[in-house]
Amino acid sequence: MIKQEAFGVEPWGLPETALDLDVLAQSESVFALANGHIGWRGTLDEGEPHGLPGSYLNGFYEARPLPYAEPEYGLPESGQTIINVTNGKLIRLFVDDEPFDVRYGQLRSHQRRLDFRAGVLTRQADWVSRAGAQARISSTRLVSFTQRAVAAIYYEVEPLDGQRRIVVQSELLANEQLPGSDGDPRRAAVLKNVLQSEHTTAQDSTVLAVHKTAVSGLRIGAAMDHLVDAPTSVLVESHAHGNGGMVTASCVLTPGQRLTMTKFVAYGWSGERTVDAISAQVIAGLTGAKQSGWDGLLAEQRAYLDDFWGRADVAIDGDEEVQQAVRFALFHVLQAGARAESRAIPAKGLTGPGYDGHAFWDTETFVLPILTVTAPEAAASALRWRHSTLPTARQRAKQLGFEGAAFPWRTISGAECSGYWPAGLAAFHINADIADAAARYVEMTGDEQFEQHEGMDLLTDTARLWRSLGHHDAPGRFHIDGVTGPDEYSAIADNNVYTNLMAQQNLIAAADAAEKYPDRARELGISPEESADWRDAASAMVIPYDEALGVHSQAEAFTRHQVWDFEHTPADDYPLMLSHPYVDLYRKQVVKQADLVLAMHTRGDAFTAEEKSRNFDYYEALTVRDSSLSACTQSVIATEVGQLDLAFDYLGEAALMDLLDLEHNTRDGVHIASLAGTWIALVSGFGGLRHRAKIVTFRPRLPEGIARLAFNIEVRGRRLQVEVTRSTARYLLAKGDPLEIVHYDKSLKLTAGQQQQRSIAPIPPRQRPQQPAGREPAHRRNGTSAS
């Protein structure tokens, strides 16, 4: 676990006051910089020591075979793994011929800070070599939001105790040595030396390297150029080698004199363009970066983020840790998707190789709700990527014997990369999750062009899948059998409530779109009979309910299963999937992550308030949260049913998932969906935000640990500011045409510049529900977590 005392708590940044080599890999993930296209892990400038080196380009992968003990029809034959591409971060320092290495000599001080407003990672170190030479090293690193292909570093070194020969060596390096795998299935496959050199060159202070993958056939170009400045004569040399090249600057300095190196790096990749074309692309990127200059890149970065925070900031009074955490979360969510531009948003963003760099359903269910109301262009981009994979999804559906499109459980390019049938390939709910994200985007943005084209394509093909996957029985009920819902400890279940409710919504949305756009419906071959059939299936959808217990059964017969023996399960056995066979998990009442409870959030209209309370209490006693996706959902519904203290506890878990390394795998990258869940727990939970049929509603309520919550959202071109205290809610339309909202079932019409205030009635206390033994969330009091 990351030692929290190493991180300071401040509202607009994450400072590290000391370097702890035991948690180097975790801090590399936390300090990663990205823009949705390029990802640079927060490794030290000199490259060593490192926990897990990583430089990534979104969508750039190598294919690998997926071995099976026995071949089965329909299983994918190959997987895709994100590649550690050419490292452009490396800047090595030599002081009187001795390499700067924090493991040797004396590190007198070391500070790093991730700045959420400036969008940079800064570092300063005072170091004494084994020979006694003293030097101060500082660097500032950025991955540009405005120039998609560009990253840059400003590096400065100063001797502190006398005349010293300073040599700074900047490098491009492909095929870095990576640590081996430890067998954790959440981690990436380790592929070694996958980049084959096609062209390298060095001239003056510029190095260019082009490589190609052997199997996927993707080509990558990386180039770097430098500006070197010092008060004395500097010798600059460069040379290339098979895996890249380096630029070396050497001079003699005395105390008070500094050598500065500005390093510009550009990346590009393609599966089609030639070596010459890729080379031209990255050289053009370098030219644009040099034209802006270091100060220009900083100014562009700050202006971009000023605009983002003006739309997206969440302010909290009463909990400094959560205040820092939600801005940390928003910053990383933005980094994951801002410039993805028709590429996926992976589960780890571009901060690490966890899950092989794959995108899952969490993008649409947890990440896009934020981006839709804070950075809608990024949400549209992610949905257009899904749309671009429709041909592959249609082929997959046909292979499985279904109509429409079957989107992959995990993928980089759009092809299915999950070789596990029960918990992956049977999780068809991803199709409804994508449809839900598309419909939500249209509702909140009013983007009719998207609705009529990409949106309608997605709704149509997913509706066709549900109609062919499900069936009517004799009484006329519509069943969807043999699927896996969000809870991966229950597989091949009949009538999973979450899946069925989301499919129901999907079918109705597709039928509504066909009615709204008849010309497009004819183009897509949607007959009136097919549309009516979708509505019939939706109205007859089976939603299991256990009359004896008075709760919804997560899936058919789930509540008849034996309850897991939580009392005799040691703490070290969690997560259960790493210590118990699935054959045991599948036949017990034990929930990995919110499933039925998630249905109450995404389809809250399908449950009464009383049903929500009873369901929540029942599933609290079964949910072990072996997934980072669970705590935020449990927080939202805990708030809705009046369990505010418990909701606050779950908020803390979601918010600090990576800052405290709660799941012990932050080393492989931050949890983008859990970070998004911080915003969801605050805005959808304590802010009470819901939207359905173009109506935005709020049912705000704060726990004791938060005195004030303020946030912004964008609704169809309007900017709405919401401020909540324990007794009142204030709504201000900052810009845009009048907007109608609902506060606790009462309609309000807002006009720009006029604030409206409404009261929040107190609620009676309720008995806190029980969690499985040893799986209670840490109690959060006065802004801190306490066991």
Q: How far apart are CA 628 and CA 626, in angstroms?
A: 7
Q: In which region does residue 75 sit, left (phi positive, over 0), alpha (psi from -120 to 50) or beta (all else)?
A: beta
The tokens describing 753, both together, are 């510049």
Token pair 């919504």 is found at 505
DSSP letter for 704, please: T
For residue 575, cis peptide bond before it (omega within 30 degrees of 0): yes
> Residue 680 is inside which H or E element, if any?
none
350 touches 335 (CB < 8 A) = yes
Number of H helices, E strands in the chain: 19, 34
Q: How far apart are CA 178 and CA 114, in angstroms?
A: 25
The catalytic site residues sit at 488
The tokens describing 468, both together, are 């062919």
DSSP letter for 768, please: P
Q: How far apart are CA 222 and CA 84, in angstroms?
A: 13
Q: What are phi and psi of 348, to 5 degrees?
A: -105, 15
Alpha carbon of residue 747 to chain centroid:
34
259 touches 234 (CB < 8 A) = yes
Quickly list DSSP for 459-515.
Answer: HHHHHHHHHHH-EE-TTS-EE--SB--S-TTS-SBSS-HHHHHHHHHHHHHHHHHHH
309 touches 7 (CB < 8 A) = no
DSSP letter for 187, please: S
Residue in 528, 353, 501, 366 with CA at minimum distance from that of residue 437: 366
516 touches 469 (CB < 8 A) = no
Alpha carbon of residue 483 to chain centroid:
25
